[in-house]
Amino acid sequence: MGKVVFITGATSGFGRAAARKFASEGWALVITGRREERLKELAEELCESVPVHYQTLDVRSKEDVDSLVKSLPESFKKITCLVNNAGLALSPNPAQTVDIQDWHTMIDTNVTGLVNVTHALLPTLIEVGKGASIINVGSIAGQWPYPGSHVYGATKAFVKQFSYNLRCDLLGTGVRVTDLAPGIAETEFTLVRTKGDQAASDALYANTQALTAEDIADTMFYLATLPAHMCVNRLEVMPTAQAWNPFAIYRES
């Protein structure tokens, strides 16, 4: 059947754009996400051009992840590329004001979920060997701190270090691992982070040119189709309109 990509969080943003990009290039798809209706719509859109297997999945559940991987139809079992995209940010407020449950949700999704899926698919990727890829969606927040990032930034720092360490363990298998770390991108990210505050989302992206989901999907495909002897360990992608600020200094009045 050719190459197969397994994408988590395919119901919106980077994941949905990635599904469309890989499908446009003839890759078969395994797409997962928590919102069944969106997943079904995407599968129906793309199945006319490429084979598509879809299933709702909460990556936080190891049992559900393992069950899905084991039950994949035979023609979808040979995963060439894993895109660990499922993740979220919550509570962009000072740490001392945040509900602890939001912290747990980010850790369970961004860390535990990514680990669950990676662990379940490692044997398959190693069997494919040369040219197989794991693309972990990190963030510039995993490298650069900012107010309100607290646990979100910490989870993305985990993604970065996990990717590096996985590269060490997979040396000699032919499997590549990349931490893809986007900057500001106009998706549903801020709506989720603010629990539906459209005004906050609009304000963040106003009067600037952020990255698009398609920009990141194109980058994912580039990483997955590099010559097999090449691996990009970490790729930080920011819009030209975004850069760093000086250190903040508190001054007593």
Question: CB atoms < 10 A from the CB of 100, how many?
Answer: 9
List of residues 6+ apart from 133 with CB closer than 8 A: 80, 81, 82, 175, 176, 177, 178, 223, 224
What is the signed CA dihedral for 43, 117, 90, 234, rounded to 10 degrees?
-100
- What span, in angstroms and rounded, lies between the C-alpha atoms of 239 and 190? 17
Residue 54 designated active-site: no
For 61-87, what is the HEC assignment?
Answer: CHHHHHHHHHCCCHHHCCCCEEEECCC
Single out the catalytic residue among 152, 164, 222, 250: 152
- What span, in angstroms and rounded, lies between the C-alpha atoms of 146 and 87? 19
Q: Which residues are catalytic?
A: 152
